[in-house]
Structure 1
């Protein structure tokens, strides 16, 4: 028998986060979105709620039990208030899952502080010549006594401006594709590291930027995972982040639709509220349907991950469809508000610009469709 209900624990946590989102995040969303200064005080409050430690060992301050659905629920609920800060559980989830493959020194130095919301860590994978084809990266890691020397450029890195350190992916000179790529934890205060801001049309507070490495020394203890296998570890983690990012965007869309519905009951034209016109209510109904459908694709992917079952294809479905559905729902909400929807004094236009980033971040729709179609073709080949 199918059961789509949340557990009592999940529902209680959702209520706590919804109250936090309404009280702490939504009123400050526009102000936070207008600056690159990261609100660490708010991040610390998120850490205190336990939202950054989902699935991590208790000895580091985590919840102990791996629960992908709970992480998705947290991300969606926080996005009602601030779609940018809602990405924090996903970022910490990606970073932390990889740090668990690192040395005791690295784990003890960084994991408790990341889970507590005291510091940010960035993931430096994308390069100017390797976006979706991340295995084509050119940053090199050359063996030297006691460690490595890293040289190269990383670009379009979220959290770059506010991060204390970054997980940097670099290859052994002479290697090709994914072979020979290792992951290193690099202190961004190290000699030879420079960070530059890249201003985008949204997500300003996430500190999007480039990281340049000029013969940066990284000690042996800061190798994360097995040498030459960093790329495979990173790709495995993206299956959960893609579904969670879809839910994050859909949370912002749901908040926008609800705001538009309230406005439609208050705004009158030709002597009647907007809510009495099908030209207003039908788009609300249509986009609410799309949002609900996309939500369950994402949640099913996360549920399958929690069950240890294959979910790569569904995660990719949630990643390409979720942000698209969200963008279109927010756009429809802006139209209902009329000229106010375009006004910088209201959050709709900001959500629209912030959600747009996830049409490409973590893999474009075309990349996700390639992943999905490969699985479809593979099934067809087996059945012949």
Structure 2
């Protein structure tokens, strides 16, 4: 019998985080979203709630490696995004960076860097995209030249979350002479290393996430900062993206749920032609339609995370979650804006801000076109005799 129920522990945690999202995050969402400053106060509060330690070893301050649970991380992300879609990106980033470091980092690197990430004292980033290789991540040109005691990194990375506030960065670079996915390794780069420069790339949304670029000119990285197996970093990155793609889908859906709830409340208050506008099918039917789409996309994301948790193949499910859920969320937010009329477009209300923040995820972590290529490959493979 298939069960769609969360555990009692997950439900209790969700309820705690839902209260926090509504009472602490939501009231100040617009104020935080309008600033390019990272929300350290909220980030530290997430640490106190245990969000940043899920699935990480206890010896480094985490909840325990045995508690590694993609479904719980997805539930946390969705719940927090109801209050602030930008603050809610933290568990996704932790799943990408801290988990990868815990799995493949040296003892020295783990002891030095994971505790501060779990405590919320620092944030890290992941640097894959380059000016000439966005969707084609295997076409990266940043090189890691072996030198005495480590490697020398040279190249440029762009579109990096936390570029402006991270103290460390997971940088993917290829060994000289290698091509495509072969020869790519992952390195933990301290951002204060000699030869590193940052550049800010603010967009139309997600301002507190500090998107930007980094340039490396012969930056030395010691041997103990290699993360994972040398020359096999690309496969590791893709494996972790299969978590983040589903989690980011839930991130967008959590934000959309908040907008749809706001639209439903407004529709029951606003009157036109002598009655509440919720009584008009032109208002109530879009609410019904988008509630259905959100629910369907939500369970697709959780199906992908469940498959990851039990060790089943989920590459195509993660890709489905990544291209469809953000689009469903964006459509729902747009419908909520229209129900509010001119107020939905006003900067005095949070709906327009969510629209701009969620739109970023149509591109981040792989465009919808790339996700559809992944899905189509899986579909075609199943039909081969």
TM-score, normalised with respect to structure 1: 0.98
Q: Which residue of 2 aligns with 1:151?
A: 154
Q: How many residues align?
A: 382
2:129 is the alignment partner of 1:126: yes
1:56 and 1:27 map into 2 onto residues whose CA distance is 31
Write the mapping of 1:177-192 to structure 2, written as runs, cut at 5 A: 177-192=180-195
Contact 2:81 2:251 in 1 (8 A): yes
Q: Which residue of 1 aligns with 2:29?
A: 29
- Residue 58 of structure 1 and its aligned partner are, at CA, apart by 1.4
Secondary structure, counterpart of 1:344 in structure 2: coil
Write the mapping of 1:1-384 to structure 2, written as runs, cut at 5 A: 1-64=1-64, 65-100=67-102, 101-381=104-384, 384=385
Secondary structure, counterpart of 1:194 in structure 2: strand
1:16 and 1:379 map into 2 onto residues whose CA distance is 43
1:238 and 1:166 map into 2 onto residues whose CA distance is 16
Secondary structure, counterpart of 1:262 in structure 2: helix
Contact 2:95 2:243 in 1 (8 A): no
2:217 and 2:55 map into 1 onto residues whose CA distance is 35
Secondary structure, counterpart of 2:268 in structure 1: helix
- Residue 232 of structure 1 and its aligned partner are, at CA, apart by 0.9
- Residue 352 of structure 1 and its aligned partner are, at CA, apart by 0.2
2:205 and 2:220 map into 1 onto residues whose CA distance is 34
Runs of 4+ displaced beyond 6 Å = none
User: Alpha-carbon deviations, 1:144-194, whole Å to 9, x = none?
Assistant: 111111110000111101100101111111111011111111111111111
Secondary structure, counterpart of 1:163 in structure 2: coil
Structure 1: gaps of 5 or more residues? none
- Residue 140 of structure 1 and its aligned partner are, at CA, apart by 0.7
1:22 and 1:60 map into 2 onto residues whose CA distance is 30
- Residue 275 of structure 1 and its aligned partner are, at CA, apart by 0.7
CA RMSD of aligned residues (A): 0.8
User: Alpha-carbon deviations, 1:38-79, whole Å to 9, x = none?
Assistant: 121211110111111111111122222111110000000000
1:304 and 1:157 map into 2 onto residues whose CA distance is 28
- Residue 36 of structure 1 and its aligned partner are, at CA, apart by 1.4
Structure 2: gaps of 5 or more residues? none
TM-score, normalised with respect to structure 2: 0.98
1:330 and 1:264 map into 2 onto residues whose CA distance is 15
User: Alpha-carbon deviations, 1:267-310, whole Å to 9, x = none?
Assistant: 11111111111100000000000000000000011111111111
1:355 and 1:57 map into 2 onto residues whose CA distance is 32
Contact 2:260 2:332 in 1 (8 A): yes
- Residue 114 of structure 1 and its aligned partner are, at CA, apart by 0.7
User: Which region of structure 1 is more displaced relative to structure 2, 59-68 or 157-166?
Assistant: 59-68
1:36 and 1:359 map into 2 onto residues whose CA distance is 21
1:260 and 1:11 map into 2 onto residues whose CA distance is 26
Secondary structure, counterpart of 2:258 in structure 1: helix
- Residue 378 of structure 1 and its aligned partner are, at CA, apart by 0.7
- Residue 227 of structure 1 and its aligned partner are, at CA, apart by 1.2
